[in-house]
Chains A and B, each alone.
Chain A
Amino acid sequence: DIVMTQSPDSLAVSLGERATINCKSSQSILYVSSNKNYLAWYQQKPGQPPELLIYWASTRESGVPDRFSGSGSGTNFTLTISSLQAEDVAVYYCQQYYDIPLTFGGGTKVEIK
C-alpha cells in the first residue's frame, strides 16, 4: 500500500498569513506516460463532509478560491493557502489515486493564531 504522510499534524496561522501543508507518499505517484501526479486535496470543516479542493496535484476544483494552490511531483506535495481566512479553519487531507487501495494522509488541522 502507498502510505501518505502529512505534516504538520496541526498548525496555527494568523489571518492573512500563508499556511503550508506537506504530503509525502511512500512511492512515486507520478504516472510517467501522462506526466500526471495522482494526488488530490480535500478540506473538511467541523461537522461537515470533505470537499474536493485540488486534483492532479495542482488543478483547482471549480469554485475553489485561488488562494488555495497545490504543487509538487513524484513523492512530495504541498497545499498552500496564500492568505488564510477565517472560513479556512478545517482539517486538510491528501489522497493518492495512483494505486489501489486508495489511501489518505492522516490530516492536518489548520487553526487561527
Chain B
Amino acid sequence: QVRLVESGGGVVQPGGSLRISCAASGFSFSGYGMYWVRQAPGKGLEWVAHIRFDGSKQYYADSVKGRFTISRDNSKNTLYLQMDSLRAEDTALYYCAKDPFYHGDYLYYMDVWGKGTTVTVSS
C-alpha cells in the first residue's frame, strides 16, 4: 500500500540547520508531486512547500522562502526538506504528503500523508 515515512527530526538551536526526509513506497514516486505540511504544537495545518514530480519546480510558503529547500531523489524514492536559519516558530510536526494526480501540473490537495517527524528549535 502507499506509505510515506518521515525521519530526521530532532532538536536544533535557533539559527541552525536540519534536513528531514520522507521515504515513499507503494506507488510510482517519480510520477507525483509531493508536499511538506507542518503543524505547530496544538495548532492547525500550514502548507510549507511543494515540488513537482520531476523536481523541476518548487513552491514555498512565504514563512520559509529563502530558508527552506525542498528536493527529491526519484532514484531513491525519497523527498527532502533542508531547513536553514531555523527559528523557534519553525517548531512543529512536519508531514510529507502526496499529490493525487500522476504528472500533475499544479498544486492540489494531499491524498496520502505520513505520520510526521518532529522538529524542535530551542536553545
Binding site for A on B (CB under 8 A): 35, 44-47, 50, 59, 61-62, 95, 100, 106-116
Contacts and interface: CB of A to CB of B under 8 A. Distances in A.
Contact of B45 (A51, A52, A55, A104): A104
A88 to B, nearest CB: 18
Interface in A46-91: 48-52, 55, 61
Interface residues of A, number: 22
B109 A97 contact: yes
B61 A52 contact: no
A105 B45 CA distance: 8
Nearest to A52: B111
A107 B44 contact: yes
B45 A100 contact: no
Majority secondary structure of chain A interface residues (helix, strand, loop or mixed): loop
Q: Which of A48, A50, A51, A106 has the most CB of B within 10 A?
A: A50
A105 B108 CA distance: 16
Closest 9 CB pairs of A and B: A40-B109, A102-B47, A49-B113, A104-B45, A107-B44, A97-B108, A55-B109, A101-B61, A52-B111
A102 B49 CA distance: 9
A61 B45 CA distance: 20
Contact of A49 (B46, B62, B109, B114): B114
Given A49-B114, A49-B115, A49-B116, A104 B47 contact: yes
Contact of A102 (B62, B107, B115, B116): B107
Nearest to A51: B113
Nearest to A40: B109
Contact of A106 (B44, B50, B106, B112): B44
Nearest to B100: A55
